[in-house]
Chains A and B, each alone.
Chain A
């Protein structure tokens, strides 16, 4: 039994009057890879944005290493060691590839990740480092987004649909790099539409449905039927 690195309790989230999350409970154990699956609009991105500090939460709704962080600003949470690889990559178009990576390292946290380490992981980025990030292919942009998050030397890294819109061969490459990333003692949360992929890289999985947890369990213990039911809400 480990201590959770992240604990979420009774988390709600709103966009104006619209409620996207309803009393969510969830935890991430230290050193584990946790998968979050669920249909489009289930609230996966909202959950990650809440953890990263981009939604308004109560302090106690998100605890990190035993500290309440729910009410902190996103930049304060980043400084504590939580990094998000956002859905759709969201690179800074005015910054070159290398500048995108460098700004990821702005928190000044110590650790194994540096420009050299990222270039080692994704050598193509070193060749393209002076280019505008918008000039890269989708897969290369995703590498920049991952590298940018790693540059912060996070203890907990959140991946939001890193395979979205990429060719299968690129997805394979990126997932092949994952063990080298999370093997460094990092904990990870992976949001993924591709259920097989999500189950194969994770130790535990939560399924979200319409803003609620509809299923949770060990990734190798859940049956396909359970997952389909939790995913689509078919009784």
Chain B
């Protein structure tokens, strides 16, 4: 039963990792941009959630109503103001610029909030649990997982069923020809980053309710998100969810063997999958 428990808890944790990863995957899919600042943006969203919920006396989940539009706005402005200028045939400039952005966000958060760990107060939600088939499941992890599934399903629907998704796919296929269709790629990329950071807002709030956070933890969240994307296969959103789950399960099972092995086990499974299937488990299969 202990092992089953570890696997179930790991699966639920995978939901959080999928939330870390979904925005990363979206951005890479639409504009081939690897956003090194993604993890720090998650942490920024957590701090925004903290400040919003404290200042307005809101439950952290209610703070999403403020943080999602705020992060989306930041994403659009960031893309049009800075990142669009770095995109081109050379993949190095966007890496360097988002790396710089990562450093800037970390230092700004240090200035604004100090290095002390912070936590959001979600009241009873943090400890509530229920029994299920002999296991005890936390309400928060289950809610996180459900939200991750909903976010991925929503993104999937948007990508394949709406005019916006069509514009994303067309621009990803061929930027010049998409422009001939009347799509301004600067705007399309801005919308993609806005959407990515809207998901980052959700990820940041759930992270900040689950654990304490400080300005330095962004890099680790980036790695988890990155690993989930790669395990699942680039450009495949459901694959990203599976990747998150595999990573989460590897971590909890590793921790069960020896508490010190939690992170190592996750990285080892990642490397193993990368060695066996360099394109991930479910790479996108269009031409």
Contact = CB atoms under 8 A, between A and B. Distances in A.
A54 B176 contact: yes
Contact of B179 (A74, A94, A134, A152): A74
A92 B265 CA distance: 40
A93 B167 contact: no
Contacts of A99: 166
A52 B181 CA distance: 11
Given A90-B174, A92-B173, A94-B173, A78 B181 contact: yes
**Size range of the chain A interface in the assembly:** 20 to 34
A84 B180 contact: yes
A132 interface: yes
Listed residue (B170, B172, B177, B182) with the most chain A CB atoms within 10 angstroms of its CB: B182
B166 A95 contact: yes
Interface in A139-161: 148, 152
Contacts of A52: 180
Interface of B: 163, 166-167, 169-170, 172-174, 176-185, 286-287
Interface string A101-120: 01110110000000000000
Interface of A: 52-54, 73-76, 78-79, 83-84, 86, 90, 92-95, 99, 102-104, 106-107, 132, 134, 148, 152
22 contacts: A54-B179, A73-B179, A73-B184, A74-B176, A75-B185, A83-B180, A86-B177, A86-B180, A92-B173, A92-B177, A92-B178, A93-B286, A93-B287, A94-B169, A94-B170, A94-B286, A95-B170, A102-B163, A103-B170, A106-B163, A107-B181, A152-B181
B2 to A, nearest CB: 45
A92 B184 contact: no
B156 to A, nearest CB: 14
A52 B287 CA distance: 26
Listed residue (A74, A84, A86, A132) with the most chain B CB atoms within 10 angstroms of its CB: A74
Given A95-B170, A99-B166, A90 B183 contact: no
A103 B181 contact: yes
Listed residue (A103, A106, A132, A148) with the most chain B CB atoms within 10 angstroms of its CB: A103
Contact of B182 (A92, A93, A106, A134): A106
A152 B182 contact: yes
Contacts of B172: 94
A92 B179 CA distance: 12
Contacts of A75: 179-185
Contacts of A132: 286-287
B287 A53 contact: no
